[in-house]
Amino acid sequence: MNSQAFIEIGSIRRVGKDQGVALEDLLDKVAEHKGCGSSGGDGKSSCGSSARPQDVSEEVWNKIKNHPCYSEEAHHHYARMHVAVAPACNIQCNYCNRKYDCANESRPGVVSEKLTPEQASKKVLAVASTIPQMTVLGIAGPGDPLANPEKTFKTFELISQTAPDIKLCLSTNGLRLPEFIDTIKKFKVDHVTITINAVDPEVGAKIYPWVFFNHKRHTGIDGARILLENQLKGLEMLTAAGILAKINSVMIPGVNDQHLVEVNKAVKARGAFLHNIMPLISAPEHGTVFGLTGQRGPTAQELKALQDACEGDMNMMRHCRQCRADAVGLLGEDRSDEFTTEKIEQMEVQYDLATRQAYQQVVEEQRVAKREAKDAEIVALADALDERTRDLSVLVAVGTKGEGRVNEHFGHVSEFQIYEVSAKGAKFVGHRRVDLYCQGGFGDEDALPSVVHSINDCHAVLVSKIGACPRDELKAAGIEPVERYAGEFIDQAALAWFKEYVAEIKAGTREHSARGDAAIRQGALLASGKAA
């Protein structure tokens, strides 16, 4: 990564020579642009992934409360799965290579198996029997679900008959969305994602070389225009039909990064519930046009600045993991290996609704406890702040293996969760995938610099345990390693650490300083052997 691309927290001033336009311009552009889309507001005072029950109507809450993508809180507790029943696609994106998963909804890595609707239905029952917190079935590729309508809707039909408590979810490029709104409604698919990277065909033409529509291939600006018009029309129709729409956008520096502010305005005005701006993942080994031409992805700070700039009352989704089209498990974990067709054949599948509901009840109790602990900590923090520290806001990295707790050893972390802590609370703002430091009981010293680089914008790292070597390395980089909150809820722990941080500033034993930028992983994970 270009070291000149680093940005100082606090000033949000860019110094990168290859960055295009200054982020201040972007922030100015959105200064007047805040608030939910009026048509999609649902009467909510706050909408989006951080909504609580009191923020949205009961109908909307019931749709999002256990959907890990539509509710940031839910993603710590509930899992989703994808079934790869849709191999074909009707457009070409410059960030996609057909040998890889759909970049709309997945990280670049091959789908292990393509499934028939019948195989997919069996797989869903097997996963739901094994993982009671699996609440959502999504179809997200590896091509486009609506370019494969028979397989997609047959799969939904089979699943709604055998596992009616599972929410159905669909992710599409939107080209054929308008013609399927009635079918989507008929099959009770309550959540639809459209990937919209541009609302201006000239920008779109830099991302989509062609689209195949009405039996004809359309290229350049004409092709992009057809796609964008159908995307926006489809979004309006979803809103009118009362189906929650999420918009995914891929941030491509120098191509659509500034333009995504316009996209945000356009989708908000058409009733989108949530906007998910994801970083372009682009490496030569992916074999994509962008990968081969050296198009870079954004840095962590560039991505966050754009997400912050677009965030009004409509919160941005920041917990997306760009999952595979056959992902299984909590966001950020992948248990698809446990559910290959061969293994499922040998499994005794018992779909037990009562057990699932009992388990989910326990999860809900935990969730309430976590919320209460966080609220109590915010009150305690308010008392500790003074003039100098009232407006402070810093990032902390957290090692967790689930349940919303600080419960992972530093060496076992494959993904840090990043929280922004301030007087307002602890807010999840992203994640960073890293190589495992611990390799069979030994620390991999070669992995340490890249781990540190990935959380370089953080002031502290909260884990359940950490060895002497990484502890020293983190300290040398100016990041405080913290073990004393092992087992505690993340929000509460992050706020408690922040309370100590401001107390030390108040006492004069610590000086606050800004951190640098951090890298978003682009290439393959070295240690785990997984694609990234």
Cα–Cα distance between 439 and 318 in angstroms, integer?
A: 30
The CA-CA-CA angle for residues 333, 337, 338, to 5°, reads 95
* Residue 320 contact partner, candidates ligand CLF, ligand SF4, none, CB within 5 to 8 A by sort of partner: ligand CLF
Identify which of residues 91 and 192 has a Cβ nearer to ligand SF4 in the complex.
Answer: 91
- Cα 265 versus chain centre, distance: 20
Q: In angstroms, what is the minimal distance from the CB of 246 to ligand CLF? A: 6
* Closest residue to ligand CLF: CB criterion: 138
Binder among 143, 204, 279, 399 for ligand SF4 (CB under 6 A): 143
Binding span for ligand SF4 by CB under 6 A among 136-144, 365-373, 375-383, 470-478: 136-144
The yes or no reply on residue 141 touching ligand SF4 (CB under 6 A) is yes
Which strands, in side-by-side order, build the sheet including 415-422?
425-433, 415-422, 393-398, 460-462, 480-482
Residue 89 and residue 102 in contact, taking contact as beta carbons nearer than 8 Å: yes
Binding span for ligand SF4 by CB under 6 A among 96-104, 127-135, 197-205, 365-373: 96-104
Cα–Cα distance between 18 and 442 in angstroms, integer?
A: 39
Cα–Cα distance between 313 and 56 in angstroms, integer?
A: 12
Cα–Cα distance between 202 and 200 in angstroms, integer?
A: 5
Give the other-Cβ count within 10 Å of 219's Cβ: 13
Residue 276 and residue 246 in contact, taking contact as beta carbons nearer than 8 Å: yes
* Residue 102 contact partner, candidates ligand SF4, ligand CLF, none, CB within 5 to 8 A by sort of partner: ligand SF4
According to DSSP, the β-strands at 91-92 and 79-82 are unpaired
Which strands, in side-by-side order, build the sheet including 244-251?
274-279, 244-251, 191-195, 167-172, 134-139, 79-82, 328-329
Handedness of CA 146, 150, 151, 152 (dihedral sign): positive
The yes or no reply on residue 103 touching ligand SF4 (CB under 6 A) is yes
Identify which of residues 433 and 499 has a Cβ nearer to ligand CLF in the complex.
Answer: 433
* Residue 324 contact partner, candidates ligand SF4, ligand CLF, none, CB within 5 to 8 A by sort of partner: none
The yes or no reply on residue 93 touching ligand SF4 (CB under 6 A) is yes
Q: In angstroms, what is the minimal distance from the CB of 417 to ligand SF4? A: 26
The yes or no reply on residue 249 touching ligand SF4 (CB under 6 A) is no
Identify which of residues 93 and 421 has a Cβ nearer to ligand SF4 in the complex.
Answer: 93
Tokens, residue 375:
């609220």
The CA-CA-CA angle for residues 337, 100, 256, to 5°, reads 125
The yes or no reply on residue 307 touching ligand SF4 (CB under 6 A) is no
Non-local (6+) Cβ contacts of 97 within 8 A are 108, 286, 287, 288, 291
Cα–Cα distance between 497 and 160 in angstroms, integer?
A: 45
The binding site for ligand CLF (CB under 6 A) comprises 69, 80, 82, 105, 136, 138, 140, 169, 171, 191, 193, 276, 320-323, 331
SS (H, E, C) 357-419: HHHHHHHHHHHHHHHHHHHHHHHHHHHHCCCCCCCCEEEEEECCCCCCECCCEHHHCCEEEEE
Q: In angstroms, what is the minimal distance from the CB of 93 to ligand SF4? A: 3
The yes or no reply on residue 144 touching ligand SF4 (CB under 6 A) is yes
Q: Which of 428, 257, 426 is nearest to 331 (CA)?
A: 428
* Residue 300 contact partner, candidates ligand SF4, ligand CLF, none, CB within 5 to 8 A by sort of partner: none
Supply the Cα-derived Rg of the chain in whole angstroms: 22
Q: In angstroms, what is the minimal distance from the CB of 445 to ligand SF4? A: 37
* Residue 96 contact partner, candidates ligand CLF, ligand SF4, none, CB within 5 to 8 A by sort of partner: ligand SF4
Identify which of residues 24 and 285 has a Cβ nearer to ligand SF4 in the complex.
Answer: 285
* Residue 466 contact partner, candidates ligand CLF, ligand SF4, none, CB within 5 to 8 A by sort of partner: none
220-240 helix and 177-186 helix, angle to the nearest 10 degrees: 30
The yes or no reply on residue 92 touching ligand SF4 (CB under 6 A) is yes
Cα–Cα distance between 277 and 195 in angstroms, integer?
A: 10
* Residue 295 contact partner, candidates ligand SF4, ligand CLF, none, CB within 5 to 8 A by sort of partner: none
Partners of residue 329 on adjacent β-strands = 80
SS (H, E, C) 439-501: ECCEECHHHHHHHHHHCCCCCEEECCECCHHHHHHHHHCCCEEECCCCCCEHHHHHHHHHHHH
Q: In angstroms, what is the minimal distance from the CB of 337 to ligand SF4? A: 23
Binder among 47, 56, 69, 96 for ligand SF4 (CB under 6 A): 96
Identify which of residues 19 and 322 has a Cβ nearer to ligand SF4 in the complex.
Answer: 322
Q: In angstroms, what is the minimal distance from the CB of 515 to ligand SF4? A: 33
Identify which of residues 91 and 128 has a Cβ nearer to ligand SF4 in the complex.
Answer: 91
Q: In angstroms, what is the minimal distance from the CB of 458 to ligand CLF? A: 22
The yes or no reply on residue 104 touching ligand SF4 (CB under 6 A) is yes
Binding span for ligand SF4 by CB under 6 A among 63-71, 141-149, 400-408, 447-455: 141-149
* Residue 14 contact partner, candidates ligand SF4, ligand CLF, none, CB within 5 to 8 A by sort of partner: none
DSSP calls for 79-136: EEEE---B---SEE-TT--TTS--TTTS-S---S----HHHHHHHHHHHHHH-TTEEE
Q: In angstroms, what is the minimal distance from the CB of 181 to ligand SF4? A: 19
* Residue 140 contact partner, candidates ligand SF4, ligand CLF, none, CB within 5 to 8 A by sort of partner: ligand CLF
The yes or no reply on residue 436 touching ligand SF4 (CB under 6 A) is no
The yes or no reply on residue 102 touching ligand SF4 (CB under 6 A) is yes
Enumerate binding residues for ligand SF4 (CB under 6 A): 89, 91-93, 96, 102-104, 141, 143-144, 173
